[in-house]
Amino acid sequence: MKWPVRKSYLLPFGIILGVAVAVACSSKSSTKFGFDPHADSGLTDQQYGQILNAVQQVTASTSQAQLAAQGQQIFESKTIGKKGDSCATCHTNGNGVNMAVGIINHPQKAGDFTGPRTVIPLMNEAATAPYTWDGHVATLATQVTNTVKTFTKLGATQPASTTAQQVAALVAYINTLKPPLSDFDRGTLSAQAQEGERLFRGEKGCANCHSGPNFTDGKIHDIGTPTVPGETDPGAAVTPGGLQHGFNPPNLRDVKDRSRLMHNGVFTT
């Protein structure tokens, strides 16, 4: 199926447990940060390399269980965030998403686009590269590095070794976050859900972007998502050469529990 491009009307949006009905909604949110906690950190390639090499060393020399326990403490701590928040403030219970708080409204800096970006779920995150809605970050460790440097109080000034320890721990914890088993996993889809799967994989074309065990193909697509009033989000074109209005299709695992869908939250069901 060919999606309409840049037309503001409801798009068919298939989900694995059936076919969802898309409903337009307001872009307003109660984001509380005043900055993008996942923004690029401004590190040089050399600085990234130093941190990521150290992350590999920490990961190789420490048990994953120990790192994951440390990572959970960091993830849930309300003392390290600049605004007294934790990762779990928006990524509730690791997997869930708190759209009432976590939608980030841009612009966040000079020259930035205008418009909201919603919270991305973290389940099976290691298998769903690339990262961010515009897909410009290649590895999970790099994205977590950006978050540590941008979101935490001491991230911008702390030693690279401290950042590497935190990144290794957070990546290990995020790797433990798995979606709940569904009727799809159990092979017990209802007749209605089986019809939804047929449409999803066939004539509606959902699987053109949402394929594989996590229902994302790791590529950038422009499916003509309706914009919200005033939105100028260029999608992947924030990076030179990127696809204008192209976005990274999210993991659809447990999508039924998300309250705002698409990069800008334009759909509520």
The structure's pTM equals 0.85
The Cα–Cα gap between 195 and 182 comes to 16
Please check whether residue 190 lies inside any domain of the structure. Answer: no
Task: Name residues whose C-beta falls within 8 Å of residue 143's C-beta, 6 or more positions apart in sequence.
Answer: 38, 131, 132, 137
Query: For the residues of 153-181, what is the DSSP string, one character each?
Result: SSTTTS-HHHHHHHHHHHHHHHTT--PPP
Please check whether residue 241 lies inside any domain of the structure. Answer: yes
CATH number of the domain within which 33 lies: 1.10.760
Please check whether residue 258 lies inside any domain of the structure. Answer: no
Please check whether residue 122 lies inside any domain of the structure. Answer: yes
Query: Which tokens go with 82?
Result: 């600049």
Looking at residue 103, what is its pLDDT?
A: 86
Please check whether residue 101 lies inside any domain of the structure. Answer: yes
Query: Which tokens go with 16?
Result: 């694995």
Cα→Cα distances 138→102, 156, 248, Å: 23, 21, 12
Looking at residue 96, what is its pLDDT?
A: 67
Q: Count of domains in the chain?
A: 1
Q: Which domain holds residue 153?
A: 29-185+234-251
pLDDT digit string (tens) for the chain, length 269 residues? 333 334 333 344 333 333 333 323 333 434 455 678 888 999 999 999 999 999 999 999 999 999 999 999 999 999 999 988 899 988 887 666 787 777 889 998 888 999 999 988 899 999 999 999 999 999 999 999 999 999 999 999 999 999 999 999 999 999 999 988 999 999 999 999 999 999 999 999 999 999 999 999 999 999 999 999 999 999 999 999 999 999 999 999 988 888 889 999 999 88
Three-class SS state of 118:
coil
Task: Name residues whose C-beta falls within 8 Å of residue 161's C-beta, 6 or more positions apart in sequence.
Answer: 54
Looking at residue 94, what is its pLDDT?
A: 63
Task: Name residues whose C-beta falls within 8 Å of residue 51's C-beta, 6 or more positions apart in sequence.
Answer: 43, 145, 160, 163, 164, 167
Please check whether residue 85 lies inside any domain of the structure. Answer: yes
Please check whether residue 208 lies inside any domain of the structure. Answer: no
Query: Which tokens go with 32?
Result: 């509380």
Looking at residue 101, what is its pLDDT?
A: 75
Please check whether residue 125 lies inside any domain of the structure. Answer: yes
